[in-house]
Amino acid sequence: MKAITFNRLGPPDVLQLTELPVPSAGPGTARVRVKTAGVMPIDAKVRSGSVPYAQSHPFPIIPGNEFAGIIDEVGDGVSEFTRGDEVIGFTMFGGYAEYIVVSCDQLVRKPAGMPWETAGGFTGNGQGAHMALEAIRIQPGDTVLIHGAAGGLGTFAVQLALAWGAGRVIGTASEANHDHLQRLGAIPLAYGDGLAARVRAIAPAGVDAALLAGGGDDLALQASVDLVQDLSRIVAMVPSVHAQTLGIRQLTGTRSKERLAELVRIYNEGKVDIHIRKVLPLDQAREAHREIESGHGRGKIVLSV
């Protein structure tokens, strides 16, 4: 099978298109013929070695933690799925390949009307947003502040917060993305000085909860602390010393089949979707990583396998 691999940590140029043996499904697992695989910032961090678990994983490494495809083999003891089932899945490694074998606990059925490019890029930001909003305990009627609201995870979080009944979602983003946030149903605000005061002009009592969907600069961190009474209802997706100093916790959580199944249900209700920026062939994974690391552009990059 064709797969993208790397044999050393480094820049996008370490990614290589490689021929590998096709894996077989073992007990409790399914082999998926991958149709599409999402490209996530964490994939680039795995490749560069900036996350600890990548440094201890044996080479060659196949990156990719979200995918969609068609089951073509099931192992012993599997009754939930059968050959020909269209599925969405998540993993730690292995998505950038023609075939992947995963536990059936990492798969849910793909909705019949969901495009393959959407399916391949659905679970990463979706489960991240789900974990984050669960952590800050979104309640019906809440006013929620989401920093970095136009990014992949932020866009999903805006939609999910509204689907869960938030009364208002205020989202920070560059002015070029304000129309995008308004289409999602959020109230857009620009980054920068005076953020807390500008939020209070909309919500005089402050906000009930805040999510730092990106790294969160010092102004965003401080504004969140100023605006949210209960600091346990602020969470940052990316750790930082300043966040820890202010008492803002980093997101912790585990992706699960149950989370993904709920997200698929909400998708079927028409309440969440993702914007696809670009679909690239598998052999252009290097370009995909360069774009992800540039930090420019809105929406998901997906590899067609």
Q: Which has the higher per-residue pLDDT, 240 or 57?
A: 57
Ranges of each domain in the chain: 2-122+274-304, 125-250
- pLDDT above 70 as % of the chain: 99
Closest alpha carbon to 281 in 257, 258, 303: 303
What's the predicted TM-score (pTM) here? 0.93
Residue 216 has a pLDDT of 61
Tens of pLDDT, residues 110-119: 999 999 999 9
Whether CATH 3.90.180.10 fits 2-122+274-304? yes
CATH architecture for segment(s) 125-250: 3-Layer(aba) Sandwich (3.40)
Tens of pLDDT, residues 184-220: 999 999 999 999 999 999 999 999 999 999 756 788 9
